[in-house]
Every structure is written in C-alpha cells, then in structure tokens.
Amino acid sequence: MLLASFSALITSTVLAWILSRTRGRWLAVDIPNHRSLHTTPTPRSGGLAILAGAAAGVFTHWLSNGDLLLDTASTAAVLALVMIALVDEHYPIAAGLRLLLQTLVVAGLLISDPVPEVTSLPWFALLLGLVWMINLYNFMDGMDGFAGGMAITGFGTFALLAWQSGNVDLALACAILVAACSGFLLLNFPPARLFMGDTGSTVLGLLAGMVIFKAHLENILPFWLGLLVFSPFIVDASVTLATRILRGEKFWLPHKSHNYQILVESGWGHKRTVLAEYALMLACSATAIAAAPQSPWRQATIIAGWALLYAILIYLIRRTARRREPQT
C-alpha cells in the first residue's frame, strides 16, 4: 500500500508541476470572468495529474502483487468521463447533451456491473445518485484547494474504515486516490497555480458515489453515514440547486450562489474559507467513523443533528450575504 501510494503521489506531483507551467494550445486555461473567484488565467487540466497518479499507483501495485484493482466497467466509465471533459474544454458541449452523455456512461457502468439483489438501493435511484455526484462535485470545484481537500478527506476516511474492516482492495484503491489528490493539491492550494477541471471533478464525483455504495454494500459504512462523509459538498450543492429552482432561476447556468462562494465574496478569501471547509470535512468524517459501530437509531439521531447544524450554518451564511447586498 505504501509503495503504490508513494508512486501515485510522486507521479501526480511531477505532472501537476509540469501542467501548471504549460500554456500550450493543447491545455485548457481558465480565463477569469464576472462569475470567477480567481483573477489570474490558470491551467485547468490538473485532473490529468490526479488520473496519472492513480494509474501509476494501480500499476505499481500490479507489478508488485499481480493484482489489478480496476475492473473493465469502472475503467471504461472513467475514461468516457475524461473524454467528455476533454472535448468540452475545447469544444463546449451543451449542458443537456453533457448530462445525457454522463447518464449513459453511468447506465453502462451499472448494466455491466449489475446491482446485487441484497442492496436496498433501487437501480434507478443509484443511477440518479451517481449522475448527481458527478455534477455536484463539478459544481463545487470552484475554489482553490476545495475539491482536492474533499477528496483527500473523503477517500481517506473510507480507506481507514475499509482497512479496519479487512477490505484491503478498497482501502488500497482509496489510499491511492488520496495520494494522487495530495500531489495535485500541492499546486492547487491557495493561491492555486493549477485547477482540477472537469477531467478531475467529474471522475472524482463518480468514484465518490461508487465508494459510498461499495462501502454500504459490504457493510463497511451505512449509506447515510457515507453521505455524511461527503456532506460538505452534497449539502451545499443540493440546497443551492433547490433554492435556484424554487426561485425560478436558470439553474443550469454558472453562478456564484454556493455557500463557499458567498464566504469568499464576503471577505473571507480563498484560504480562510477553504481551511474552514477542511475543518467541516474532518468533523463530518470523524462523526461518521464514531457513528459506524452505533445502533441505527443513534446513527439517525446523529444525522438529524448534522441536518440541524447545516441549516443553522446555511442561514448564517445567507444572512451575511444579504447584509452585504447594496441597499436600494
């Protein structure tokens, strides 16, 4: 595990450094606009470094153990999402078509690897859930160090729980992802010199959803506690989307109304906001780990407590935003 993770870390770090210094026509660059939180043109294909790091870790493990962690269906789904993202970076794809393509990718994955009958999660709900995870991770990748930090905390939590439960393969896969994202984060922490882009965010969203489901299926962590681990992203994206729909806004268009965006714009800045989000991520992960051996009723009480806490936090953030709006 250490050798594979080290290989992922080194590969990701080196490639992230190279990508951060490249301004060629083949590499997409994020040009700031009125919806951006950054002010400097920045390369946005850093997800390639994460993917290369993960591939290096898997390859290293295969060389040393002869065990290939990836199955054909998952590999094909990841590559398909990467191709969609790369095309979209240079030749923008309409939002509806992009969503359709992502749905087809997930459907193909689920058809190739059917959902076992023992799960309580309906096939259609799982399809929608994975598609939503792909997009919400993409929506939340809008602040320096944010998506990379969520990946390290989230997958790190599942690596620990899988290791404790004896599921070495899942623990290793998550540890490799943590190492690969750590190499990228070295160049993405505020002030970022490299962005993840859709090549990284969509894939990490899919993998996060798959890990949550896998852990539930193998009795490592109940589904609702798995959601709690990634709840800093899930809650912000879901509440913001629901709010925009209720207001009759064009919710499919880019915007700056996520809670983390409000905090950055309110004067907190990237570094202070992302450190506060890191603290929230760690608190969610620690709670999930502590709640895992508890009874379902205690777990439900813990989830309810977090729901109340999120409601309070969102209220305070939105009130801050209203106070900063110009008076008319």
Mean of pLDDT values over 144-171: 96
pLDDT > 70? residue 231: yes
Name the percent of the chain lying above pLDDT 70.
90
User: Of 31-45, 207-221, 230-244, where does mean pLDDT reach its minimum?
Assistant: 31-45
* Average pLDDT of the chain, as a whole number: 89
User: Quick one: which of 287, 232, 290 has its CA closest to 259?
Assistant: 232
Instruction: Extract the runs of DSSP E, i.e. beta strands, from the chain.
Output: 29-30, 42-43
- CA pair distance 203, 134, nearest whole angstrom: 7
User: Of 90-99, 204-213, 280-289, where does mean pLDDT reach its minimum?
Assistant: 90-99
8 Å CB contact between 310 and 318: no
Q: What is the pLDDT of residue 69?
A: 75
Q: What is the pLDDT of residue 78?
A: 94
- The token duo for 263 is 């905090």
pLDDT > 70? residue 66: yes
User: Of 214-218, 245-249, 323-327, where does mean pLDDT reach its minimum?
Assistant: 323-327
Q: Are strands 29-30 and 42-43 parallel, antiparallel or unpaired?
A: antiparallel
Q: What is the pLDDT of residue 117?
A: 46
Residues 6+ apart with CB under 8 A from 263: 273, 276, 317, 320
Q: What is the largest CA-CA distance in the chain?
A: 68
**How far is C-alpha 43 from the chain's CA centre?**
19
pLDDT > 80? residue 28: no
Higher pLDDT, 35 or 265: 265
Mean of pLDDT values over 15-44: 72
8 Å CB contact between 136 and 154: no
pLDDT interval class at 37 (50, 70, 90): low
User: Quick one: which of 78, 51, 198 has its CA closest to 138?
Assistant: 198
pLDDT interval class at 313 (50, 70, 90): very high
User: Quick one: which of 174, 135, 148 has its CA closest to 1?
Assistant: 174
User: Of 11-25, 113-127, 187-201, where does mean pLDDT reach its minimum?
Assistant: 113-127
- CA pair distance 158, 285, nearest whole angstrom: 9
User: Quick one: which of 235, 213, 231, 230 has its CA closest to 222?
Assistant: 213
Integer angstrom CA distances of residue 88 from 132, 138, 197: 18, 13, 11
- CA pair distance 101, 94, nearest whole angstrom: 11
Q: What is the pLDDT of residue 118?
A: 45
User: Of 6-20, 101-115, 297-311, where does mean pLDDT reach its minimum?
Assistant: 101-115
Q: Tokens 């594979």 appear where?
A: 4
